[in-house]
């Protein structure tokens, strides 16, 4: 009896939530690349079946936009049914590093319509959040070749191993499905992460059976949101790390 009552309750909740839980809008891309030679970057917001009010802003990854020399226009706009709106991200022209790529976040939030005063109504403000990469004018290197400048090594300490990566490029590298395979053993090191320009990251390993045949594979998400396969060969060394060969794209 209790089980049946619980199922009925969950069904009622699902009925109340479902009409409000799906996003009415969609964005034209999964990331924005801001070319520092331009004054602005654009992205298109497409609307669905009903008129919607959206609010848009940038943050630096900590929901703080106070120190960002950028503006999003229009910050607040109503989009009619089946219509679209161009959002412009405008740079003040100074205030960002000139020797490396920077990243921030674009937030696009739907503002729910005012509903009737009926009880048992749940409204959700759905926010979409994507990365904006700012590339200053004259930045050395090539973002497409940045994954080839990731240098991988292993460190042994206290009978544990740590996978270390250093990004030698001036660009962010977004990784997914990072795996280390040795013989019949395969360890998922991380599902997804982003390595900043010049950053060194450490990933503690659960398994320690690493030899010269160990193979590191990972996916890189490029400027277009597509995934590319990369791999690197690792050598086992005692008590110190060795810089490995540049990963080679499959």
**Residue 196: predicted pLDDT:** 97
The per-residue pLDDT for 194 is 97
Does residue 149 sit in the same domain as residue 99? Answer: no
Give me the pLDDT at residue 209, please: 57
Same domain, yes or no: 101 and 49: yes
In a domain, 31, yes or no: yes
In a domain, 1, yes or no: no
Residues 148 and 127 in one domain: no
Tokens 């004054």 — which residue? 39
What are the residue ranges in the chain where pLDDT is below 70?
1-23, 63-66, 114-123, 208-213, 235-250
Last residue of a domain, one of 74, 102, 135: 135
CATH of residue 84's domain is 2.60.40.10
**What's the structural domain count of the chain?**
2
pLDDT digits (tens, 9 = 90+) for 107-141: 999 987 766 556 666 667 789 999 999 999 999 99
pLDDT for position 250: 45
For 3, 10, 27, the CA distances from 6, given in Å and listed in that order, are: 5, 6, 38
Could you give the CA distance from residue 14 to residue 19 in angstroms, rounded to a whole number? 9
| Cis bond before residue 74 (omega within 30° of 0) | yes
Q: Compute the distance between CA of residue 154 and CA of residue 242 in angstroms, rounded to an integer.
A: 7
Instruction: Tell me whether residue 4 is in a domain.
Output: no
Cβ burial of 111 (10 Å; 0-12, 13-18, 19+) is middle
Whether the full predicted model's pTM is greater than 0.75, yes or no, is yes
Looking at the domain assignment, is residue 17 inside a domain?
A: no
Which one, of 21, 15, 18, lies nearest residue 110 by Cα? 21
Residue 190's pLDDT is what?
A: 94
> Which of 135, 164, 195 is where one domain is finished?
135
Residue that is last in its domain, among 103, 135, 167:
135
pLDDT of residue 212: 55
């Amino acid at each position: 009896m209790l089980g049946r009552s619980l199922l009925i309750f969950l069904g009622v909740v699902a009925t109340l939530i479902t009409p409000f839980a799906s996003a009415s809008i969609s964005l034209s891309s999964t990331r924005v690349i801001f070319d520092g030679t331009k004054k602005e970057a654009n992205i298109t917001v497409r609307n669905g079946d009903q008129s919607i009010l959206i609010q848009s802003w940038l943050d630096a990854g900590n929901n703080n936009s106070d120190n960002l020399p950028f503006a999003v226009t229009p910050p607040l706009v109503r989009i009619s049914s089946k219509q679209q709106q161009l959002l412009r991200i405008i740079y003040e022209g100074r205030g960002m590093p000139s020797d490396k790529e920077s990243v921030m976040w674009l937030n696009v939030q739907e503002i729910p319509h005012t509903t009737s005063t009926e009880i048992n109504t749940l409204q959700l403000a759905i926010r979409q959040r994507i990365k904006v990469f700012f590339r200053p004018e004259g930045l050395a290197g090539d973002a497409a070749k940045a994954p080839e400048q990731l240098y991988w090594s292993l460190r042994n300490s206290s009978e544990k191993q740590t996978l270390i990566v250093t990004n030698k490029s001036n660009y962010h590298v977004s990784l997914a499905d990072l795996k280390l395979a040795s013989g019949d053993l395969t360890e998922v090191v991380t599902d997804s992460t982003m390595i900043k320009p010049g950053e060194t990251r450490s990933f503690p390993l659960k398994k320690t059976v690493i030899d010269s045949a160990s193979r590191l594979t990972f996916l890189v998400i490029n400027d277009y949101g597509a995934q590319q396969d990369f791999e690197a060969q690792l050598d086992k060394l005692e008590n110190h790390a060795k810089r490995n060969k540049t990963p080679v794209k499959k």
